[in-house]
Amino acid sequence: MSDDAHIVYCEKRMLLDKGPYASWRDIQDAYGDYKASLGPWTEEEIISFLRDDWGGDESRWPFSRDGIASFFRSTERLLPARDRGA
């Protein structure tokens, strides 16, 4: 498992993926509803991106800081964005 993760944007979801991708095209092939991806980035780079892109209010972020930290310590490959409710 990689020490880095990609932020993957799909039609109706967003997730972190630690899969071993050679390029964004490989990620696109893995997700039928793929729109875009960023990375691979370290935990710190993802936190920095979220802070810069989503602002300082972490409750607005698609992933919690604690969730990201736990994800990077785990053997899990995927972390879906938190459910924001409708």
What is the structure's pLDDT at 86?
44
Helices (H) and strands (E) in the chain, counts: 3, 4
Rounded to whole angstroms, how far apart are CA atoms 35 and 10?
5
Structure tokens at 68: 């990201």
The three-class DSSP label of residue 18 is: coil
What is the structure's pLDDT at 26?
97
What is the structure's pLDDT at 74?
97
pLDDT string in tens for the chain (86-residue length): 568 999 999 999 999 999 999 999 999 999 999 999 999 999 999 999 999 999 999 999 999 999 999 999 999 999 999 975 54
Rounded to whole angstroms, how far apart are CA atoms 86 and 72?
28
